[in-house]
DNA sequence: ATATAAATGTCAAGGGGTTGACATATTTAC
DNA sequence: GTAAATATGTCAACCCCTTGACATTTATAT
């Protein structure tokens, strides 16, 4: 493979000049610019990014630590983050922790060793000591890790409020919130707060049901949905913490002759593609995934010039479809 | 950040010794081993991977170029590849081409510049010239890129055969195959071959319907499904090229009072989680995603010792659920 | 005690770019 | 024509780790 030196020789200039041009550190006359470009073409030269990053002490890579990719919502996140990462000329180092804290810590130090430009944390690690002696920016996605680590998220509380108001408009009296077991620090727990407070304002106390933690990993809620309906046959509406649960509730209803939205209104969360593919199509809370992702990436990219606000919240909105 | 030199000084040995230990190139006495380990701990030392890779002229990174992550099946692929990548101590550089050939080529040269250990191509690039002058191994996932690039895929032909035989057992007489517009080189086209040949063996010619190419990007088949049913009201069974299409067909049927499996039998492809979440749950062809991914990663990891077979095919199986 | 093997040390040259300091050559402006 | 501005060149150190050649010390075996 051709090196800087080869290019310089071929173009009849110094490596310094070539390097300066490649990093546009100074003006280069059109003439030399041409010569150099020609040499680069002819030699099919590509700067060795490793050497480059080593010199600069920082790579153009962004690390994303995420719990899983086996989930429509997180896929959207990965997709979106990759897009912005590439847009800014950065590369994405994807780390899937599979919900294991230990792995997350490992990944973290790996990213450190690779001198990444920044880390986006979309998993639920709580062991923070290791992170703090890290010069690159860290940004937490949809969760609060510590008072010192900036986070970006959507307005979970309002998501709950919107869902509750929508159900109230539809005259629901016996609402339930079906969620995953919450890990500490996850902003998703605010959804319930918004949901419950709104209903309480109308003298209604919603039922809350937490699926066992393993469901969040397997994404299979069949058993807990059955248990849920056994325990709460009286409900007339259910708000779920993601579309996958909602979809499985729709399946349960279809199997058991519960008409949706007639007998039961269902609201999902996330507005993944799923929600419009199932029948009835899901009313759901749309998260501003793209805004969140762009913000996270831009925070890292512009870290040197702009400091990152400790908390950034983007608005959500309710998308009405057929299930309410 | 501490460097090798710092560790060596602290441990009272030479950098050579430390390096040798870290790369276990020679035996190190327990005594020095201890001293070094202690120094590493105390300094919280982490080898600079950039420098390391630069020296070794190859990084421990694997590049994955994939068309999208906005799709359940590809998510499974990403998830699985990441898992094996990590298992072997490699890191995953994720490149999402968004179906743009130009971007794929760019990504490719970026990966080259980063001296990745290998590239897994799960997109549909056909411009191969640029790839061939690449020393690291390339492996194509579920497609044939050129006779010189090894590929790993599942037995698409047999997938079609299994679906056809299953429908034949259910006495279907007017089958259809609903697929995406095929790009050249995609092995998915063999599915139709297997499906059609099997039916032809029974004197039946299946209908084939190709959704417009944009559907594969948007994943929204609603319009083309409507057109499909308008044009082919007589069908009694449909085999689709992925579960997402099948799911949307289920939705169409529910909306239009077509009973499944009563009036119409539906078979999907991929066996993504979706297939068991919808109602009726989808009969589908299960792809050995994990085998494919493991094979792809291992091929790269073991490249120096083992050459990669030009073609590797893993078996598929039919999972019967409620839609047939 | 001696020969042999094992463990470290020493030294230095890479790997491929970046960068600062300073010198020199080439343009541009008036 | 001269001064100022612009464009290159020169040189060398640095980023941090790897590796080969060879020398030296220490442990093990007989």
DSSP assignments along B220-243, one per residue: --HHHHHHHHHH-TT-SEEEESSH
Cα–Cα–Cα angle for A52, A54, A60, rounded to 5 degrees? 65
B-contacting residues in A 4-33 (Cβ below 8 Å): none
Residue B31, pLDDT score: 87
CB atoms within 10 A of CB A227: 14
Q: What is the mean pLDDT of chain B?
A: 92
For the segment A235-254, the average pLDDT, to the nearest whole number, is: 96
Give residue A188's pLDDT: 82
List residues, Cβ < 7 Å, touching strand D. A 12-17, 20, 26-29, 31-33, 51, 54-55, 57; B 1, 3-5, 15-16, 19-20, 22-23, 25, 29, 45, 47-48, 51-52, 54-56
Share of chain B above pLDDT 70, in %: 97
Find out whether B207 and B176 touch, Cβ atoms under 8 Å.
yes
Mean pLDDT of A63-92: 94
Q: CA at A32, C1' at D4: how many angstroms apart? A: 23
Does the bond joining A295 to the residue before it have cis omega, within 30 degrees of 0? Answer: no
Asked whether residue A239 carries a pLDDT value surpassing 90, the answer given is: yes
Whether A278 and B273 lie within 8 Å, measured CB to CB: no
* Whether the predicted pLDDT of B182 surpasses 80: no
pLDDT for the residue numbered B26: 84
- A302-321 burial, b for 16+ CB within 10 Å, e for fewer? eeeeeebeeebbbebebbeb
pLDDT band at A126 (very low <50, low <70, confident <90, very high): low
Give the Å distances, CA to CA, from B297 to B91, B95, B133.
Answer: 11, 16, 21
For chain A positions 126-185, those within 8 Å of chain B (CB to CB) are: 133
Chain D nucleotides reached by a protein CB under 7 Å: 6-12, 14-21, 27
Judge contact between B241 and B179, C-beta under 8 A.
yes
What pLDDT was estimated at residue B100? 87
Option in A95, A112, A219 nearest B46 (CB) = A112
Residue B129 has pLDDT above 80, yes or no: no
In 3-state terms, what secondary structure has residue B49? helix
pLDDT band of residue A125 (cuts 50, 70, 90) is low
Reply yes or no on whether the pLDDT at A260 is more than 70: yes
Q: Residue B27: what pLDDT?
A: 84
Q: Which tokens is B312 given?
A: 């590797």
Parallel/antiparallel/unpaired status of strands A317-319 and A283-286: antiparallel
How confident is the model at residue A137, as a pLDDT? 93
Q: Are A45 and A100 in contact (CB under 8 A)?
A: no
Beta strands in chain B (DSSP E): 61-66, 91-96, 118-122, 138-141, 151-154, 175-180, 207-211, 237-240, 265-270, 283-286, 311-314, 317-319
Mean pLDDT, residues B279-296 taken together: 97
What is the C-alpha separation between B190 and B160, in angstroms, rounded? 8
For the segment B254-260, the average pLDDT, to the nearest whole number, is 95
For residue B17, say whether its CB is under 7 Å from any atom of strand C: yes
Question: B218 and chain A: CB distance < 8 Å anywhere?
Answer: no
- What average pLDDT score do residues B237-257 get? 96
Stretch among A127-131, B30-34, B131-135, B288-292 having the lowest mean pLDDT:
A127-131
**pLDDT per residue over A4-43, tens digit each?**
999 999 998 999 999 999 988 888 888 888 989 999 999 9
* Token pair in block for residue A59: 């790579």
CA of B55, C1' of C22: distance in angstroms: 32
**Minimal Cα distance from B244: which residue of A?**
A277
pLDDT at A295 over 90: yes
Mean pLDDT (whole number) for A99-105: 86
Give the phi and the psi of residue A101 in degrees, each rounded to 5.
Answer: -55, -40
**Measuring CA to CA, how many Å separate B24 from each of A32, A110, B9, B16, B278?**
47, 19, 19, 11, 53
Condensed to tens digits (0 to 9), the pLDDT of residues B87-104 reads 999 999 999 998 888 888
Residues of chain B in contact with residue A220, where contact means CB-CB under 8 angstroms, are 273, 276
From the CB of residue B234, how many other CB atoms can be counted at a distance below 10 Å? 9
Express each pLDDT in B263-276 by its tens digit. 999 999 999 998 99
Q: What is the percent of chain B with per-residue pLDDT over 90, rounded to a whole number?
A: 74
Residue-level pLDDT at A70: 84
Q: What percent of chain A has pLDDT over 90?
A: 72
Mean pLDDT value of segment B201-208: 96
Confidence of residue A323 (pLDDT cuts 50, 70, 90): very high
Q: For A151-192, write each residue's pLDDT tens digit.
A: 999 999 999 999 999 999 999 999 999 999 877 777 888 999
- Write the pLDDT tens digit of every residue in B288-317: 999 999 999 999 999 988 999 999 999 999
ω into B280 cis (within 30 of 0)? yes
Q: Which of A227-231, B116-120, B203-207, B302-306 has the lowest mean pLDDT?
A: B302-306
- Tokens 């979440």 identify what position? B277
Predicted TM-score (pTM) of this structure: 0.93
**Is residue B229 a contact partner of residue B174, using CB atoms and an 8 Å limit?**
no
Contact B143, B151 (CB under 8 A): yes
pLDDT category at A135 given cuts 50, 70, 90 is: confident
Nearest to B188 by CA among B178, B198, B197: B178
Provide the number of CB pairs (under 8 Å) joining chain A to chain B: 140
Specify burial of residue A249 (Cβ count, 10 A radius: 0-12, 13-18, 19+). Answer: buried
Instruction: Please spell the DSSP secondary structure of B52-112, one letter per residue.
Output: HHHHHT--SEEEEEES-SSSHHHHHHHHHHHHHHHHTT-EEEEEE-TT-HHHHHHHHHHHH
Query: Strands A311-314, A317-319: parallel, antiparallel or unpaired by DSSP?
Result: unpaired
Does the pLDDT of residue A203 top 90, yes or no?
A: yes
Residues B316, B187 contacting (CB under 8 angstroms):
no
Give yes or no for residue B223 having a pLDDT over 90. yes
Closest residue to A72, CB basis, from B53, B72, B103:
B72
Segment holding A278, helix H or strand E: none
Alpha-carbon distance of A122 to B185, in angstroms, equals 36
Considering only residues B122 and A268, tell me which one the structure prediction assigns the higher pLDDT: A268
In whole angstroms, give the CA distance from residue B258 to residue B106: 47
Name, in order, each residue with C-beta under 8 angstroms of B304's C-beta and a sequence gap of 6 or more: none
The contacts of residue B76 (CB under 8 Å, 6+ apart) are A70, B270, B272, B289
């Amino acid at each position: 493979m051709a090196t800087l030196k080869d290019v310089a020789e071929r173009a009849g200039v110094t490596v310094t000049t070539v390097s300066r041009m490649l990093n546009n550190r100074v003006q280069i006359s059109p003439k030399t610019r041409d010569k150099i470009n020609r040499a680069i073409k002819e030699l099919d030269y590509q700067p060795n990014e490793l050497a480059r990053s080593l010199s600069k002490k920082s790579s153009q890579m962004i690390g994303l630590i995420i719990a899983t990719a086996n989930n429509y919502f997180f896929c959207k996140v990965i997709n979106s983050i990759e897009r912005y990462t590439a847009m800014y000329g950065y590369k994405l180092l994807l780390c899937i922790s599979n919900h294991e804290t230990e792995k997350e810590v490992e990944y973290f130090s790996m990213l450190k060793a690779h001198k990444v430009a920044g880390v986006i944390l979309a998993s639920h690690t709580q062991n923070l000591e290791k992170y703090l002696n890290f010069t690159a920016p860290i940004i937490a996605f949809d969760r609060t890790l510590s008072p010192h680590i900036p986070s970006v998220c959507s307005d979970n509380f309002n998501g709950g409020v919107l869902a509750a108001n929508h159900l109230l408009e539809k005259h629901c009296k016996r609402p339930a919130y079906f969620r995953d077991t919450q890990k500490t620090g996850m902003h998703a727990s605010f959804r319930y707060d918004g949901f419950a407070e709104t209903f309480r304002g109308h003298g209604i106390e919603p039922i809350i049901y937490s699926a066992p933690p393993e469901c969040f990993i397997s994404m299979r809620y069949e058993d807990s949905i059955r248990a849920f309906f056994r325990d709460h046959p009286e409900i007339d509406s259910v708000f779920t913490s993601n579309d996958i649960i909602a979809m499985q509730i729709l399946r349960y209803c279809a199997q058991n002759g519960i008409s949706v939205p007639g007998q039961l209104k269902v609201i999902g969360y996330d507005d993944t593609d799923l929600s419009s593919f199932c029948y009835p199509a899901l009313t759901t809370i749309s998260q501003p995934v793209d805004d969140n992702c762009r913000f996270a990436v831009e925070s890292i990219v512009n870290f040197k010039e702009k400091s990152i606000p400790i908390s950034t919240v983007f608005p959500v909105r309710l998308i009405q479809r057929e299930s309410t």
